[in-house]
Amino acid sequence: MSAHSGAYRIAVIAGDGIGPEVVAEVLRVLEAVAAPAGFEYETRLFPWGCGYYVEHGHTMPADGIETLSHYDAIFLGAVGDPRIAPEEVAGVGPLLAIRFGFDQYANIRPVKPLPGAPYPLARPEPDAIDFTVVREATEGIYVGLGGRFSPDDPAVAEIVAVRQIFAQSNEIAVQTGVYSDAGCRRVIERAFLLAEQRDGRRLVTSATKANAMKHGMSLWNDVFAEVASRHPDVESEWNNVDALAMRLVLKPETLDVVVAPNLFGDILTDLSAALLGGLGFAPSANLGDGHWPPMFEPCHGSAPDIAGRGIANPTASLLTLVMMLEHLGEQRAAQAVDGAVREVIASGAVRTPDMGGSATTEEMGRAVAEAAAAIVGRS
């Protein structure tokens, strides 16, 4: 039985495109395992996203963060629909609004291929790959500082002097990356703690590029060395991000935990999702510290081109549910859902079109729900 007092309060934002379709299957599977696993929960669905923007002029209400602060976890389906709202609108909220509002600085992306899922590499065998990427999610180049300037603007005089071509241009765009030692330290520390909890090699690999980004990345490297010195039981190493990208393709079995600043992590995590068969298989969690709720979201987009057709692959959402259950301490339920997803995909009997089958989103959700209920009932 869970040690949690009372029912878990889970905020659900189905979002846009295929979001409502995959979230429906998450709720189906959650319902299937909760009672037999011995815990209670309540959900509240928030209709935020691009559809909400069309009606209200913003993707979530001004008090949205305050409202969500009273929940134990947030589950987000997908955001964005260029048919009804510009990309920058979907990007600002609710995803980034929640991530920044609750200081969710660590984006966690496990990479463990599923038997039977599409697999792009000739070698190694998929069961040899099992690593996690920890991406810093609040700093770096994504802080949004900078602007577009005329080269004769006094604000960019020092910048214009750096390259002759700048002065010959009609416009200069400045995108400022900001790195703090505290921001680097907390996400690197989380990566080392995660490595200590994992079975196997217990290695943390840092993605860096100090030879080209000497200020921000030298700070990152210094903090990485400092944190590594406090965890002598964990191996540590660094790779320039370009070399690490190549390693993800050629030798992914050599990785255990990868920690990366925001931009590098964004790119590497999508590359790592390819090892799973695509973004339709990639789960993630956005974690902070303290009492603020974490947010769990599949890594795929809203895929408006297939929205409403009932053919979206719910695997990423269901594996994201596994991460949420693990975070809540419901290991029995988490193991049942994870086992059920793997069992259904390995059997090949129920596959959505992206896996070469003809099953609907609902059919796959029902198959996983039945398998998960059976597994938790036996445990």
Catalytically annotated residues: 142, 209, 242, 266, 270
Three-state secondary-structure class, residue 52 = helix
- Give the span between the Cα atoms of 320 and 334, in whole angstroms: 10
Q: How far is CA 292 from the centre of its chain?
A: 17
Please state whether beta strands 172-178 and 41-45 pair in parallel, antiparallel, or not at all (unpaired).
unpaired
Distance, CA of 378 to CA of 268 (rounded, Å): 38
Tell me the sheet residues that pair with 333. Answer: none
154's tokens: 């006094």
Distance between CA atoms of 94 and 335, rounded to whole angstroms? 29
Contact present, 339 and 307 (Cβ < 8 Å): no
Calculate Rg over the CA atoms of the chain: 22
From residue 311, alpha-carbon distances to 117, 125, 180, 249, 329 in Å are 16, 28, 43, 29, 32
Fill in the amino acid letter for 361. T
Q: Do residues 353 and 278 lie in contact, with contact meaning Cβ atoms separated by under 8 Å?
A: no
